[in-house]
Amino acid sequence: MTDDARIVDTGGCQIESFVKHQRRHYENEIWFLPGCTPVGQVELTLGGIRTDSAVEGTSSATIAQAKTLLRTLRTNDFGLALTLGATRINPIAPVQQAGWSPYLNVIGSLSMLDDNVIIHANLGGLRDRVLSRTRQTWGLGTEISLNPRLYGIIEAYGQEADRPSRQIGLRFWVVPSRFQLDGTLGSQSGEPRSRTWTSVGIRALF
């Protein structure tokens, strides 16, 4: 959930997808996010989310995003990136209004110990058109190399008016630099009870 200051190589594409399952009440999310860098240093993503909830029913959202590098991340150095995008909540009832909610995210990544530890920090804002308010967003994450193919991840992230979320997980390159599997365990404190979840995802580059 915390973005990094890296993009797909020029002329390349990737598909990121994961399934997230809430453990204490029935809710499943499916994310599908294909992206390409056709020319230059701008990665374009167009995808969506589908949520099936026992309480709120089925809903979906569309995501459109452009991401560019401001400073390339190099070993034992730092990189900067910027994303501009918008999400559109597709209404589940005729009386609900749909609208694009634009967002901005500034991303910094820091490489340490010859790329064995990489820290990512995000800071941005989302203009919620449905609620007519602007929310600050943030994220902080760490990638730790356990061996050349296996990475541990630790993340915390959130947005204004919501309690922070936290998750830990693993990423494994099945085919180095081509096909990756990942899984997480996460939680968000709240009332009357906390939320916990698991997720399983893939990342394919071509």
Q: Which superfamily is assigned to 13-205 in CATH?
A: monomeric porin ompg (2.40.160.40)
* Strand-pair partners of 111: 118
As a three-state string, the secondary structure of 157-184 is EEECCCCCEEEEEEEEEEECCCEEEEEE
Summarize the confidence of residues 146-163 as an average pLDDT.
95
Predicted TM-score (pTM) of the model is: 0.91
Predicted confidence (pLDDT) per residue in 85-136, tens digit? 999 988 665 555 668 999 999 999 999 999 999 999 999 999 988 778 999 9
> Would you give the DSSP letter of residue 195?
E
Q: Which residues contact 96 (CB under 8 A, 6 or more apart)?
A: none
Cα–Cα distance for residue pair 124/107, rounded to 1 Å:
9
Q: 98 by DSSP, 3-state: which?
A: coil
**Tokens 């989310």 label which residue?**
49
**Tokens 């809903």 label which residue?**
59
Cα–Cα distance for residue pair 73/96, rounded to 1 Å:
43
> pLDDT band at residue 161, thresholds of 50, 70 and 90?
confident
Sign of the CA dihedral with 52 first, then 56, 57, and 63 last: negative
pLDDT of residue 96: 58
Predicted confidence (pLDDT) per residue in 18-28, tens digit? 999 997 778 99
